């Protein structure tokens, strides 16, 4: 439920990006710079998220994130509808991103703890719940945009729902996921996680995955309305289609990952995302929607699998999740201005070819997310005894 509410809040604001562009009369480059405020908020929050979780616990960190994110949603709507200025809108986005970033790391930390407790792959299911929330948020937005509901009314209502539905979910967090316990003792120097090669390469995988997903989140509706000359509600529907495809990919991902392993599955999906982006750019509108489906499925597992891989060692999960999340969110710094700059020169639609290019290095980097024996990780890190050792499927192997 926590993941689903997070996704609903995210889709509520992301579905209004075309309104931000049109109401403020922004060029693609100016829109990219406005979206950069969200990336800056993430950069401010993510490096400290692991420390906050260790100090306060995952549940309290989630509550703080929800409160700040809801405030940011209202600020976004007020900045656009009341102030009518890009700066005010960017400030609301900054606040929203800070809250969502704290919330993201905390709920992924909790999800990793649950996955380790169960001894089987479940992280993609949590991220499928996130995607399901985004689909619901995008479908609601499609109706509201078609009815010309003001952005402030929409986002204020979404913020209220986030508070009402999100805050109670933190009460159900695991006790082991809500206390620092052995993790604070095991991580003597937090900065050491930034020196681990495997953690850094996992961060690279998550960065490409985040850019693959984030490019669609930020630009696919604009690309359909501007590049394919469609009405605004069709652009929002394209966004909802992407989110629906990503949800299906995450639901199927649990079976695929347990049967084939992380590396071959991610390689296939990154290739699929690249092909899908080509169809979106080069095809007519019907083929573009088919490409959106492929792109959504291809983008579905990179982020959750990266989170699981970073948390393979329970004793250093929060520190490594914080590092990987920070690297991954660099996509939201580079992505908006890069795509906006390219959009100014070649058009938003053609700028989406970046996704296909970035899938190539990801095909090599995914080797870092190969499964590690959970028993080996527990033995090395002396993780809390409440976490059960799980068996390792045939495709998994130990890595130091």
Each residue's pLDDT tens digit, 63-80: 999 999 999 999 998 988
pLDDT-derived band at 336 (thresholds 50, 70, 90) equals low
Q: What pLDDT is recorded for position 278? A: 92
**Highest-confidence segment of 168-177, 196-205, 241-250:** 241-250
| Residue whose C-alpha is closest to residue 132's, from 213, 249, 291, 305 | 249
Lowest model confidence (mean pLDDT) among 32-36, 97-101, 172-176, 320-324: 172-176
Q: Which of 63, 132, 155, 105 is nearest to 329 (CA)?
A: 105
pLDDT of 376 above 50: no
**Phi and psi torsions of 16, nearest 5°:** -100, 5
The whole-number pLDDT of residue 57 equals 85
Mean per-residue pLDDT, 309-321 = 75
Cβ-based neighbours of 255, under 8 Å, separated by 6 or more? none
Q: How far apart are CA 19 and CA 211, in angstroms?
A: 22
Strand, coil or helix: what is 353?
Answer: coil
> What rounded mean pLDDT belongs to the chain?
80
For residue 268, what pLDDT band results from cuts at 50, 70 and 90? very high
- DSSP label at residue 301: S
Q: What is the distance between the alpha carbons of residues 184 and 316, in angstroms, rounded to a whole number?
A: 8
CA angle 57/61/62 to nearest 5° reads: 115
Over residues 145-171, mean pLDDT: 90
Higher pLDDT, 348 or 144: 144
Residues 6+ away with beta carbon under 8 Å from 319? 50, 187, 190, 192, 193
Instruction: Examine the pLDDT at 390 and tell me if it is beyond 80.
Output: no
The pLDDT value given to residue 332: 66
Sorted by where each starts, the structural domains of the chain and their CATH numbers stand as 2-381 (1.20.1250.20)
> Are 125 and 251 a contacting pair, CB within 8 Å?
yes
Classify 312 as helix, strand or coil.
Answer: coil
**For position 346, what pLDDT does the model report?**
85
Closest to 98 in 3D by CA, of 47, 51, 163: 47
Nearest C-alpha neighbor of 175 from the set 232, 122, 117: 117
Start-to-end CA span in the chain (Å): 35
pTM of the full structure:
0.68
Query: Helices in the chain by DSSP H: which ranges?
Result: 2-14, 17-23, 28-56, 58-78, 86-118, 123-146, 151-166, 181-186, 197-222, 232-260, 262-282, 285-298, 302-310, 317-328, 331-346, 348-351, 354-365, 374-381
The pair of three-digit structure tokens given for residue 387, joined into one six-digit string: 């976490």
Q: Identify whether the C-beta of residue 96 lies closer than 8 Å to the C-beta of residue 38.
A: yes
pLDDT at 6: 93
Average pLDDT over residues 346-363: 84
Question: What does the pLDDT average to over 80-98?
Answer: 87
């Amino acid at each position: 439920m926590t993941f689903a509410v997070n996704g609903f809040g995210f889709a509520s604001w992301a579905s209004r990006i075309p309104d931000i562009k049109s109401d403020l009369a922004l060029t693609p480059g100016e829109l990219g710079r406005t979206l950069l405020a969200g990336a800056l908020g993430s950069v401010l929050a993510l490096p400290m998220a692991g420390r906050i979780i260790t100090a306060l616990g995952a549940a309290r960190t989630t509550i703080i994130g929800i409160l700040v994110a809801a405030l940011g949603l209202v600020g976004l709507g007020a900045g656009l509808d009341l102030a009518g200025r890009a700066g005010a809108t960017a400030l609301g986005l900054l606040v929203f991103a800070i809250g969502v970033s704290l919330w993201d790391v905390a709920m992924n930390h909790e999800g990793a703890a649950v996955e380790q407790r169960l001894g089987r792959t479940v992280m993609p299911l949590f991220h499928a719940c996130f995607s399901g929330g985004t689909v619901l948020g995008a479908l609601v937005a499609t109706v509201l945009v078609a009815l010309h509901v003001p952005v402030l009314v929409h986002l204020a209502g979404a913020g209220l729902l986030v508070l009402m539905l999100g805050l109670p979910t933190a009460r159900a967090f695991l006790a082991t996921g809500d206390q620092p316990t052995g993790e604070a003792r095991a991580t003597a120097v937090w900065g050491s996680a930034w020196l681990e090669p495997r953690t850094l390469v996992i961060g690279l995988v998550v960065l490409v995955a985040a850019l693959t997903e984030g490019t669609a989140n930020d630009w696919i509706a604009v690309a359909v309305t501007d590049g394919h000359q469609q009405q605004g509600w069709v652009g929002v529907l394209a966004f909802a289609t992407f989110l629906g495809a990503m949800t299906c990919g995450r639901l199927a991902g649990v079976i695929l990952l347990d049967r084939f392993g992380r590396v071959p599955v991610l390689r296939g999906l990154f290739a699929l995302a690249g092909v899908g982006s080509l169809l979106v750019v080069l095809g007519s509108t019907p083929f573009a929607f088919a490409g959106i489906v492929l792109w959504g499925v291809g983008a579905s597992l990179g982020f959750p699998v990266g989170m699981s891989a970073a948390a393979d060692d329970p004793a250093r999960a929060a520190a490594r999740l914080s590092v990987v999340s920070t690297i991954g969110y660099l996509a939201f710094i580079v992505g908006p201005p890069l795509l906006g700059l390219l959009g100014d020169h070649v058009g938003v639609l053609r700028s989406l070819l970046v996704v296909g290019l970035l899938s190539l290095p990801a095909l090599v980097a995914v080797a870092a997310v190969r499964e590690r024996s959970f028993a080996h990780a527990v033995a090395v890190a002396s993780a809390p005894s409440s976490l059960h050792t799980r068996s390792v499927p045939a495709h998994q192997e130990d890595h130091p």
